[in-house]
Structure 1
Amino acid sequence: QALQEDVAGACAWIHECKTQKLLKHEGDQSWTYTQFNTPWPVTPRDSVLHVTTVKGADGSLTRNLKEEPTYIPEEKGFVRVAKVEGFWKLVPKGDNTEVTYQVHTEPGGSVPAMVANKFVVDAPFNTLKGLRERAEKN
């Protein structure tokens, strides 16, 4: 949970994250801005997410992710990700935490199929791997 709440620091373990910042935090809601690295010839992407945190009676924590592409003006040199829907779910299991990460993204603009397909596989795997490595260090 602490690793996810460190919005700028989380960029170190999120796949192809170039930079990330917290735009606003209000109660159980926050808005984040992220810029992503992309391979040539794809124009770099950015996204604005509305994150709603829900605490379960079982000690679980769910962070629901929803795009808000018009929350801030578009940045020059980036294509704004038009659609993001997903969640992180953290469930305590004794001394461990079960982590589920599910997200559907439509990157917008032109992305060659080979690049898109590689990202679909690499992004969740590398993000979860990075989170685990960081959590085990702490």
Structure 2
Amino acid sequence: MNKLLLTLTCIIFFAGTTYAQENWKLKTEDEGIKVYTRAVSNSNFKAVKVNCQVSANASQFVAVIMDIKNSVTWAYHTKSATVLKQVSPSELYYYSEVQVPWPVHNRDFICHIMVKQNPQTKVVTIDAPCLGDYIPEKDGIVRVKQSVGKWIITPIGKDKLDIEYTLALDPGGDVPAWLINLFAAEGPMQTFKKLKTQLQNPAYQRIELPYIVN
């Protein structure tokens, strides 16, 4: 969701630019959640990486990510999220609006989510690029046109997963430095804390997805 995904989505950050060669630098850490940043070539915005471990199986985690309408409960500053097209159980397009502090305009984006699993390692990859013109732009909202996010979900034991989320973006329009810093650190941290809580929701506890092997 990408969500900045985590602006997320995550909420809204990975661009079609290439990463610089600098190492990831730890920006903040809390409750086992680590948020890293690093420079991106040809961009003024840093890429973000989040790493943590969660108590869940792969089906439960993917089910939360694919439950678009309920992403408003855990994705940072997400005002709305609506599925536009369900291609298959493991692929969809959705629209989301991200609420941004005044006086900056809200952002919106269209995300294409594709879930795949390696049958040998059981590692699940969720690719989440954004599409700038899938639907017309709305007045008063700035469209995020360059954004790519990616989840790598690795089983590390019974009902335990290692989660890596990477995100980089061009949020469009004029964005002040304080807002960039807010979403680069606070956004991913708050998103993942709420995501951990969401995973414990009884609605996801017995889910088994046909395209995921736990």
**Normalised TM-score (structure 1):** 0.93
Distance 1:126 1:85 in 2: 20
Find the counterpart in structure 1 of residue 23 from structure 2. none
- Work out which structure has the larger RCO, using CA pairs closer than 8 Å and 6 or more positions apart in sequence: 2
User: Are 1:42 and 2:107 matched, yes or no?
Assistant: no
User: Are 1:23 and 2:84 matched, yes or no?
Assistant: yes
Find the counterpart in structure 1 of residue 129 from structure 2. 66
**Normalised TM-score (structure 2):** 0.61
Distance 1:123 1:37 in 2: 12
After TM superposition, the structure 1 = structure 2 runs for residues 1-138 of structure 1, keeping only pairs within 5 Å, are 1-27=62-88, 28-57=90-119, 58-94=121-157, 95-138=159-202
Instruction: Give the unaligned 5+ runs of structure 2.
Output: 1-61, 203-214
Q: Percent identity?
A: 30
Helix, strand or coil for the counterpart of 2:200? helix
Report if aligned partners of 2:133, 2:145 keep a CA contact under 8 Å in 1.
no
Bigger radius of gyration, 1 or 2?
A: 2
Instruction: Give the unaligned 5+ runs of structure 1.
Output: none
Deviation at 1:29, TM superposition (A): 2.4
Deviation at 1:60, TM superposition (A): 2.1
Report if aligned partners of 1:101, 1:124 keep a CA contact under 8 Å in 2.
no
Count of paired positions: 138
Q: Which runs of 4+ in 1 moved over 2 A?
A: none
Helix, strand or coil for the counterpart of 1:11? helix
Deviation at 1:17, TM superposition (A): 0.4
How large is the RMSD of aligned CA atoms in angstroms?
A: 1.3
Deviation at 1:4, TM superposition (A): 0.9
Distance 1:124 1:102 in 2: 10
Distance 2:71 2:125 in 1: 17
